[in-house]
Amino acid sequence: MNDYPRIRITFVDQIVDEIISELPLSEKIAIANMNTEDVELLHHVFNIYGKIKLGDQEAEDSEIIKELWDRLRKTHKMRIVNKE
């Protein structure tokens, strides 16, 4: 049995955890409220971040960005609250 996918998910989770811990609240909210096209613009930024943080180790920036965006949409997305 190949453990590669499980190891890969753990690696991406660790990177996303680190990014989230370093982001200010305002940036977490901004990313959470981005649409798909806006999130695609972040690929280049996270590619640079990954190279700085990981050196030569290859990281799938699209996996990292998708996981980051998914998590922040669950926890930091602005929602309308009905006032009754």
Residue 4 has pLDDT above 60, yes or no: no
Letter string b/e over residues 56-72, b meaning 16 or more CB atoms within 10 A of that residue's CB? eeebbbebbbebbbebb
Average pLDDT of the chain, as a whole number: 79
The pLDDT score that the predictor gives to residue 32 is 93
For residue 3, the number of C-alpha atoms closer than 13 Å in the C-beta half-sphere is: 3
